[in-house]
Structure 1
Amino acid sequence: MASIFTKIINREIPGHIVAEDDDYMAFLDIMPLVRGHVLVVPKKEVDYIFDLDDEVLAGLNVFAKKVAKAIDKSIKCTRVGVAVIGLEVPHVHVHLVPLNTMDDINFTKPKLKLNDDELADIAVRIKAKL
């Protein structure tokens, strides 16, 4: 069965997409730790990051770097943090999280509940800086 991320990639369910190429996609986390929290995924559905081919893993990081720089320019933050946890959805995903404090990347804290208009506004701001 396709992961929720594959369904976003295939446009079967909506997502606030901020960047995309032939192999990768970046979209807003709908339950973000902070405003501007983005998920970067390979389009090829693989469960575990270290099962990716070297070329795909390298490409994922290069793609994530471009997105992180756009986040840094569009969301007020000290820097953009990176986390790969891989337990929530069985599809490789890199979390890019705007940071002002260490607690901003604490995955045990309650997530934000942003409405669709707020998410759309954030996505537009990030896209504009790519």
Structure 2
Amino acid sequence: MASIFTRIINGEIPCYKLAETEDYFSFLDIRPMAKGHALVIPKKEVDYIFDLDDDYLIGLHLFAKKVAKALEATVPCKRIGIAVIGLEVPHAHIHLIPLNTLQDITFTKAVVEVSQEEMASIAAAVAKKIVKSEK
């Protein structure tokens, strides 16, 4: 059975998409630790990030860097934190989290409430910055 992330990539489940290439996909986390919390995933469904072949793993991180730079230019924060947990969904993924304090990347805290309108606005702004950076 396809992971929830594969279903998002395939358009079966809606998301707030930030960026997409032939091999990678990024969208806002619907249970964010901070406003603008994003996920970056490979389109190839592999459970454990370190099971990705080297070139694909490098590509995933370079794609995450583009998303992080656009996210940082959109969401007020001190920097973008990165986390790879790998236990929540059986599909390799990277969390990109706008940080102002160390507590912003604490996965045991309550999620931040962000309206659908604000999620859509953040996603559109980040996506626009990614497109501009690729020109």
TM-score of the alignment, normalized to the shorter chain, above 0.5 = yes
Deviations 1:4-62 (A, max 9, x none): 10000000110110000000000000000011000000000000011001111000000
Q: Give the equivalent residue in structure 1 for 2:122.
A: 122
The aligned counterpart of 1:2 is: 2
Does residue 23 of structure 2 align to residue 39 of structure 1? Answer: no
CA RMSD of aligned residues (A): 0.7
Q: What are the ranges of 5 or more consecutive residues in structure 1 without an aligned counterpart?
A: none
Q: Letter of the aligned partner of 2:33 in structure 1? A: L
1:106 paired to 2:135: no
TM-score normalised by the chain length of structure 1: 0.97
2:129 is paired with a residue whose SS is coil
Identity %: 60
TM-score (norm 2): 0.94
Runs of 5+ consecutive residues of structure 2 not aligned to the other structure: 131-135
Distance (Å, rounded) in 2 between the aligned partners of 1:19 and 1:119: 14
**Shift in Å, 1:120:** 0.5
Give aligned pairs, total.
Answer: 130
SS of alignment partner, residue 80 of structure 1: strand
Equivalents in 2 of 1:125, 1:75: separation in Å?
9
Match of 2:53 in 1: 53
